[in-house]
């Protein structure tokens, strides 16, 4: 199984002691590891060996973890199935013959297959939560700025975050404790408030149970949901697979049995979230991937006296079809005469999405939806229909647009295939999500 899970299976030993001593971790192959190949699942970087560690890798090593390999992924994080990898697809250990989700499919598969105790992925529009749901494990997408992105090969800077996978919520939270925190090398990082579970300054403060000021994320995994208010956005259930919806409501009923209550809420802006997300993400990708020209980074196309032809040849040979598609669409959206028509409107829609989430979370402690509207695809089923794959992100991309934290936990199965429950919280409300999600996993 490890042959299709890891691109590079080289071990990196950590410190002799620390909170993760004796634990093994798989690291997504777009996170820099000094002296160990980091390919981003692309032919373009097939032989690239970084000279430095990402901040999260430094923190793993300091915590005593052993990195067991660089996990397979969709090329440059662009995909929902891990089938766009130059190194081939990864099978789903929890549903053989099906995709493990993407783009962090190798990371989720490593945990599901027992190849690693924990794993790191990156989430630009659901790339931690989708694989977690499809592989029946736990995945956390942190608040934007909670985890340093230094050393993460950029796809969509304003959207992506590194996040942990684990077999249980407590496992994933333990890894989050290690990687979270501000970093001088990433100006977007912020230190999370530690005194109040993320619920400050709102009308619900009187029914909160304040946490100890120094409580770790793992300590929040108590499973106590008594009195928890869950908002269920009706828009995130529309069009979802019938079996997925049924499994979702079974999980909500389980939380109700433990003392939570739910009510329906509305997020009208999510109707436009997928379109806004892909305009923004592709635009940022077209800019970020310009450096892969065969001179600064990537395999050379061989200089023949014409720089433009050399540049084009390097990118034609180095990038796969999905990456080329997104670069072209992003370049078009940013081109003269179209910036205001597409990119600016997408940013306006993003602000609307964030406003809707803020309003919904003013009336609920967390929001809940199926992580993915469908169960795992069969291998090879959807590669010829990129639009279907884009629409499959409908429940995850709004969270990235709003810069909020979310967690996917196993909710059950439909027709023998894993289904995930997604919980969404306010900014820096990870402890609240961990407490609620640990009631199920």
Task: Indicate whether 160 belongs to any domain.
Answer: yes
Helix (H) or strand (E) holding 287: helix 273-288
Q: CATH code at 60?
A: 3.90.1300.10
Distance separating alpha carbons of residues 361 and 248, to the nearest angstrom: 20
Query: Where in the sequence numbering do the catalytic residues fall?
Result: 28, 103, 127
> pTM for the whole thing?
0.94
Task: Indicate whether 37 belongs to any domain.
Answer: yes
Task: Indicate whether 249 belongs to any domain.
Answer: no
Beta bridge partners of 165: 119, 139
Distances in Å between the Cα of 69 and the Cα atoms of 3, 18, 119, 146, 424 are 11, 20, 10, 24, 30
DSSP 153-168: PPS-TTT-EEEEEESS
In this structure, are strands 366-370 and 417-424 parallel, antiparallel, or unpaired? antiparallel
Task: Indicate whether 350 belongs to any domain.
Answer: no
Task: Indicate whether 149 belongs to any domain.
Answer: yes
Q: How many domains does the chain have?
A: 1
Here the tokens at position 147 are 């985890």
pLDDT in tens, 334-373: 998 888 899 999 999 999 999 999 999 999 999 999 999 9
pLDDT band, very low/low/confident/very high, at 387 (cuts 50, 70, 90)? confident
Domain extent for 382? 6-190+216-223+369-438
Task: Indicate whether 358 belongs to any domain.
Answer: no
Helix (H) or strand (E) holding 397: helix 397-401
Q: What is the mean pLDDT of the chain?
A: 93
pLDDT in tens, 264-300: 999 999 999 999 999 999 999 999 999 999 888 988 8
Per 3-state DSSP, the chain is made up of helix, strand and coil in percentages (nearest 5) of 35, 15, 45
pLDDT in tens, 165-184: 999 999 999 999 999 999 99
Task: Indicate whether 239 belongs to any domain.
Answer: no
Q: CA-based Rg of the chain, rounded to a whole angstrom? A: 20
């Amino acid at each position: 199984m490890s042959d299709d899970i890891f691109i590079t299976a080289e071990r990196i030993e950590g410190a002799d002691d620390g909170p993760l001593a004796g634990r093994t971790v798989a690291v997504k192959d777009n996170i820099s590891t000094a002296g160990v190949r980091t390919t981003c699942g692309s032919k373009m970087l097939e032989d690239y060996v970084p000279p430095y560690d990402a901040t999260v890798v430094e923190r793993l090593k300091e915590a005593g973890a052993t990195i067991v390999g660089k996990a397979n992924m969709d090329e440059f994080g662009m995909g929902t199935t891990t089938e766009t990898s130059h190194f081939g697809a990864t099978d789903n250990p929890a549903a053989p013959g099906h995709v493990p989700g993407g783009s962090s499919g190798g990371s989720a598969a490593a945990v599901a297959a027992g190849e690693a105790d924990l794993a790191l992925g990156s989430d630009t529009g659901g790339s931690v939560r989708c694989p977690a749901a499809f592989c029946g494990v736990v995945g956390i997408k942190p608040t934007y700025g909670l985890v340093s992105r230094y050393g993460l090969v950029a796809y969509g800077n304003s959207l992506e975050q590194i996040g942990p996978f684990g077999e249980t919520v407590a496992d994933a939270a333990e890894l989050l404790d290690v990687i979270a925190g501000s970093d001088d090398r990433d100006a977007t990082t912020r230190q999370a408030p530690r005194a109040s579970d993320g619920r400050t300054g709102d009308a619900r403060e009187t029914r909160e149970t304040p946490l100890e000021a120094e409580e770790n994320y793992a300590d929040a995994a108590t499973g106590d949901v008594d009195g928890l208010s869950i908002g269920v956005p009706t828009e995130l259930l529309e069009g979802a697979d019938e079996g997925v919806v049924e499994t979702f409501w079974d999980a909500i009923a389980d939380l109700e049995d433990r003392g939570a209550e739910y009510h329906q809420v509305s997020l009208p802006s999510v109707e436009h979230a997928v379109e806004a997300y892909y305009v923004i993400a592709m635009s940022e990708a077209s800019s970020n991937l310009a450096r892969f020209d065969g001179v600064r980074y990537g395999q050379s196309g061989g200089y023949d006296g014409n720089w433009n032809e050399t540049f084009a040849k390097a990118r034609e040979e180095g990038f796969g079809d999905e990456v080329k598609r997104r670069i072209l669409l992003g370049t078009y959206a940013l081109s003269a005469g179209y910036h205001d028509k597409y990119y600016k409107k997408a940013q306006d829609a993003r602000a609307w999405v964030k406003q809707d989430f803020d309003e919904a979370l003013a009336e609920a402690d967390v929001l809940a939806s199926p992580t993915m509207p469908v169960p795992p695809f069969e291998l090879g089923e959807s590669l010829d229909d990129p639009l279907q794959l884009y629409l499959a992100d409908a429940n995850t991309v709004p969270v990235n647009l709003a810069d909020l934290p979310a967690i996917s936990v196993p909710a059950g199965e439909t027709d023998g295939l894993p289904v995930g429950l997604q919980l969404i919280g306010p900014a820096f409300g990870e402890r609240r999500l961990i407490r609620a999600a640990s009631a199920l996993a």
